[in-house]
Structure 1
Amino acid sequence: MLIGILIALYVIIALSVVVSLLINGVRPSKTLAWLLAIFTIPVGGFLLYLMLGRNRRKNKLFSLKSDFYKKLEPSKTYEQVSDLQEYQKIIQLIQETSQCPVTQQNQVTLLQDGKATFEEIFDALEDAQDHIHLQYYIFEEGVLSERLMDIFERKVAESVTIRLLYDGIGSYSLSKKYLKRLKKIGVKAEQFLPFRFGRFLSSLNYRNHRKIIVVDNKVGFTGGINVTDKYLREDPYPGKWHDTHLKIDGEATHFLNQIFLTDWYLATEEDIDLSQFKIEGTINKGTPVQIASSGPDDDFAVMEQVYFSIINSAKKYIYITNPYVIPNDAIMQSLQTASLSGVDVRLLMSATTDIKLVDWCVRAYFESYLKAGIKIYLYTDGFLHSKIMACDDKIASIGTANLDNRSFQHNYESNAVLYDADLCKQLKKEFFEDCKKSTLLDDHEAFNNRPWWDKLLEGMAKLLSPLL
């Protein structure tokens, strides 16, 4: 009798999920896959759907975001820049989806690896007079965190307001002792989506992957580098982390701050007086920059759209540096179409990542690239963690978003899109320098003859690509 009741209850719940899928499903293939999982894997398929399959954009999990946007002043209307007409569609896309126009009064500095990046960060923090906002996916204790603690203590004593937002999963190792020390000296430190078993299904799969620092709404940092000593010393596996970051002096920093303040409100509901944060522009005709941001509570997959648009805009070349290239159909087709149309398409990825399963999944797509004439470089001098896209010596993107479903659908991400020839040429130069430390894969026939067990592992991992 009890078993019959449980079965009937499961059928009712499963049917309700089916109705939800049919109403809210985005892609027919994805909807069909979840339907098959629910009816072929008793209980397990249903639980997987609850954890990984629900359409957060439709459900608006974080309704607080719309409340916060009402507090923001309308973005300043910027005139169209005549020499950027070629990219007006991309500019409009980011303006509509991320509420960030092209800002021109910026000085941008490319930063390579941890030592150079943190020297610039520490100098900027020392100069803070009003506020310091920090947001990180990974914030680990060590040499870097202690240096930050020392700076925080001095700046708080100078009446500088410091807010630190860290991800509940990415920074899981951050100890209560360190957090108590922060709060004792007056730093406001909060978790984004704390991991709790009571909220396991609703929060585990949606993380804040952003790396942002804002100082006095004037100087900002973003890119791939987290607060971890892995950038200062060689990790036993997969080696020293090689990464790229960005320092922005000028107007675009205001929009990095706006992203931070939105996330801070989602985490704390603190009613901050936003009128104190004004756009600062003191650099005349500097680097045009747009800040693109996305999250699971957005109406559109912004990062996917931005990457897709940049790839499709390429006429001469598109060079991509990213450790996690696990493309969906749209990104794969755009890459293949560009290459088959005569565009020089090159992918620079890490020979090994920090997750073996991801290695297999990344390699599962190599054959499709090689068929289309796309060149693949595998970086062997440590773990390549940069997220860069450079195109035609005209447009580039640097930020936190990988080319995978997790960055497109599940994570909160932020990228800086740069419309500057000199910076693109510098990125291209550094791309080829890294290629010299990499293994080139360009022989489709040779790669196709790899052992069958490698193909099996890659094929099995590829099945999990929507979840990685």
Structure 2
Amino acid sequence: MEQALLRWIGDMLSIRSEVFAVLGLGLSVVVTMHVLLRKREVGGAIGWIGLAWLSPMFGAGLYALFGVNRVTRRAHKLRIRPTQAAGSAVSSDDDPTPPPLPQAFRPLDHAVRLITRLPLRPGNSVTVLRNGDAAYPVMLAEIAAARASVALSSYIFRDDATGRAFCDALIEAHGRGIAVRVIIDGIGGGYFPPGITRRLQRAGVPAGRFMHSALPWRMPFLNMRTHKKLLILDGRTAFTGGLNIADGNRVSQAPPHPIRDTHFRLEGPVVDQLAAAFASDWIFVAGEDLTGEAWFPRLAPAGTIPARVVTSGPDADLRKIELVILQAVACATRSIRLSTPYFLPNEILTSALCLAANRGIRVDIVIPKVSDHRFVDWATRAHVDPLLRSGVRIWLDAPPFDHSKLLVVDGTWCFIGSANWDMRSFRLNFEVNVELYDPDLAEALDAIMRAKMEVRLTREHLAARALPVRLRDAGVRLALPYL
């Protein structure tokens, strides 16, 4: 009897192992087919396929969580054309009379127009606002003065004194009949304690959380985030840049962990494109179309600066910001200067910067000496040697940490917004940037960056690191796509 029982158990275990073997084989085949059809980067595709065959259960599970792009939007969710909104008077995407530009920048304008499918809007003004000390009072005053609508999207929206001030302003605007819509990222806004979202919703303010779900089959929130920072008032005035909403950005008040940043106030026809970017996200979050004069009014010129919005995300806008940057680097004739809190570009963009330096372009990159993510700092040290060998100058900005994202090419072309120089911003996050052609703005941004250019990162400094440190940095760099 005992021997029969043991044989039966052995048979069951054998059958179970055979079932698992068949299941593992099936998972490996499914993952391989999906990767071959969906993944364009050869290195990533080989990695996922190898993992799926070496460890079918574990590999398939990881691929399901991190490798599959579940972001699906119907076509009308991807772009609400401003020209289709009631009352809009701006020209269509087929406007045959773009604003005049210097001859040297016309190829860049042509390329960005094809990448974005958006026209360059003339007649805009821009105001530079440094840190929350300068930006927050202006933003709160604009919310208080709004007459028709307030649209706010933020990656981080802390439930602290600053966050509550914005929350109270939004609730007050809603109470006086203003159409208020708020988007907060599902991770950056606090995954488990979303205090601000609850405050707004309890007051009746329409507020949605982007990509937030604890359900296993809705896991893209782990990797795909809305990193946009947008505030749009009455469809006429917009704020965008790198500034989140938190006490740490009030640098003058000496918070425990101060964060410097640069934000921008824009007026003019380009606000229409920023409003469209918000409306595209809102219909995805809440299923509501934002149309009409409250969101898309007639916009008159407010200045002289040509500008255009560039959105990017892991859907129809894939890589658009990265492609625009590549085009700008390729078109540069004199200088490229950029500041970014995180610098982990892929090999293509790294090579483009190296080639620019090789052809005599002055390339300056400003990064924090110490950022708020030590793993990024480690990976960066293992990533920049090709740039230094090509003559690119990398500068280490002393604390406090600066979160600004600035790019100036040839003293005229400016690129501002939410996107960092890393693969997360270029491939995974939903981002919004604005390109502007203006020498005065370029000089203002150059002045901000020049003030940081005191300590250079050199090859000698990197070579002086101890072997364990170099191994650590190189190991962390392998996680580059997810840092």
Same fold (TM over 0.5): yes
Distance, in Å, in 2 between the alignment partners of 1:275 and 1:235 is 40
Q: Does 1:142 pair with 2:160?
A: yes
Q: Does 1:320 pair with 2:347?
A: no
Distance, in Å, in 2 between the alignment partners of 1:81 and 1:272 is 28
Q: How far did residue 149 of structure 1 move?
A: 2.8
Task: Choose the corresponding residue for 2:471, options 432, 441, 456.
Answer: 456
Question: Which amino acid in structure 2 is aligned with residue 135 of structure 1?
Answer: S
What residue is the counterpart of 2:366 in the other structure?
348
The worse-fitting range, judged by mean Cα deviation, of 62-71 and 379-388 is: 62-71
What residue is the counterpart of 2:58 in the other structure?
44
> Deviations for 1:399-435, whole angstroms, at most 9, x for unmatched residues?
1111111111111000011110110011111111122
Distance, in Å, in 2 between the alignment partners of 1:8 and 1:299 is 39
Task: Choose the corresponding residue for 1:447, options 445, 451, 462.
Answer: 462
What residue is the counterpart of 2:38 in the other structure?
24
Tell me, yes or no, if the aligned pair for 1:396 and 1:419 is still in contact at 8 Å. Answer: yes
Query: Please, what is the CA RMSD of the aligned residues?
Result: 2.1
What residue is the counterpart of 2:130 in the other structure?
112
Task: Extract structure 1 runs of 4+ deviating beyond 6 A.
Answer: none
Question: Which amino acid in structure 1 is aligned with residue 203 of structure 2?
Answer: I
Distance, in Å, in 1 between the alignment partners of 2:248 and 2:215 is 29
Tell me, yes or no, if the aligned pair for 2:77 and 2:284 is still in contact at 8 Å. Answer: no
Inter-CA distance 71–450: structure 2 relative to 1 (3 Å threshold): closer
Q: How far did residue 64 of structure 1 move?
A: 2.9
Q: How far did residue 106 of structure 1 move?
A: 1.1
- Structure 2, unmatched stretches of 5+, are 1-14, 85-90
Distance, in Å, in 1 between the alignment partners of 2:317 and 2:108 is 17
Distance, in Å, in 2 between the alignment partners of 1:94 and 1:199 is 36
Q: How far did residue 349 of structure 1 move?
A: 0.5
Question: Which amino acid in structure 1 is aligned with residue 456 of structure 2?
Answer: L
Aligned ranges for residues 190-209 of structure 1 at < 5 Å?
190-209=208-227
Tell me, yes or no, if the aligned pair for 1:396 and 1:424 is still in contact at 8 Å. Answer: yes
Question: Which amino acid in structure 2 is aligned with residue 13 of structure 1?
Answer: L
SS in 2 for 1:373: coil
Q: Does 1:278 pair with 2:288?
A: no
> Deviations for 1:234-273, whole angstroms, at most 9, x for unmatched residues?
454xx41111111101111111111111100001112444
Q: Does 1:64 pair with 2:64?
A: no
Task: Choose the corresponding residue for 2:430, options 412, 420, 424.
Answer: 412
Tell me, yes or no, if the aligned pair for 2:82 and 2:273 is still in contact at 8 Å. Answer: no
Distance, in Å, in 1 between the alignment partners of 2:262 and 2:479 is 28
Task: Choose the corresponding residue for 2:48, options 16, 34, 39.
Answer: 34
> Deviations for 1:113-167, whole angstroms, at most 9, x for unmatched residues?
1110112211211220000000011111111122123322332232111111100
Aligned ranges for residues 250-399 of structure 1 at < 5 Å?
250-274=268-292, 276-283=294-301, 286-298=304-316, 300-399=318-417
Tell me, yes or no, if the aligned pair for 1:135 and 1:260 is still in contact at 8 Å. Answer: yes
SS in 1 for 2:440: helix
Task: Choose the corresponding residue for 2:142, options 117, 124, 131.
Answer: 124
What residue is the counterpart of 2:6 in the other structure?
none
> Deviations for 1:267-286, whole angstroms, at most 9, x for unmatched residues?
11124444653354333651
Distance, in Å, in 1 between the alignment partners of 2:162 and 2:348 is 39
Inter-CA distance 194–456: structure 2 relative to 1 (3 Å threshold): same
Q: State the number of aligned residues.
A: 459
Tell me, yes or no, if the aligned pair for 1:141 and 1:174 is still in contact at 8 Å. Answer: no
Q: How far did residue 175 of structure 1 move?
A: 4.3
What residue is the counterpart of 2:17 in the other structure?
3
> Deviations for 1:74-125, whole angstroms, at most 9, x for unmatched residues?
6624412332443334334443443432111211011111110112211211
Distance, in Å, in 1 between the alignment partners of 2:346 and 2:396 is 21
Relative to the length of structure 1, the TM-score reads: 0.92
Tell me, yes or no, if the aligned pair for 2:125 and 2:302 is still in contact at 8 Å. Answer: no
Question: Which amino acid in structure 1 is aligned with residue 466 of structure 2?
Answer: P
> Deviations for 1:15-45, whole angstroms, at most 9, x for unmatched residues?
1111121222202222112222222344232
What residue is the counterpart of 1:465 in the other structure?
480
What residue is the counterpart of 1:434 in the other structure?
452
Larger Rg: 2
- Structure 1, unmatched stretches of 5+, are none
Tell me, yes or no, if the aligned pair for 1:169 and 1:195 is still in contact at 8 Å. Answer: no
Inter-CA distance 103–271: structure 2 relative to 1 (3 Å threshold): closer
> Deviations for 1:188-238, whole angstroms, at most 9, x for unmatched residues?
1111111313345333211111000000010001110001111125454xx
Distance, in Å, in 1 between the alignment partners of 2:176 and 2:29 is 60
Distance, in Å, in 2 between the alignment partners of 1:420 and 1:288 is 8
Q: Provide the identity percentage.
A: 25
Q: How far did residue 174 of structure 1 move?
A: 7.6
Inter-CA distance 260–84: structure 2 relative to 1 (3 Å threshold): farther
What residue is the counterpart of 2:232 in the other structure?
214
Distance, in Å, in 2 between the alignment partners of 1:82 and 1:179 is 44
The worse-fitting range, judged by mean Cα deviation, of 295-304 and 311-320 is: 295-304
Distance, in Å, in 2 between the alignment partners of 1:113 and 1:97 is 31
Inter-CA distance 371–41: structure 2 relative to 1 (3 Å threshold): farther
Tell me, yes or no, if the aligned pair for 1:195 and 1:204 is still in contact at 8 Å. Answer: no
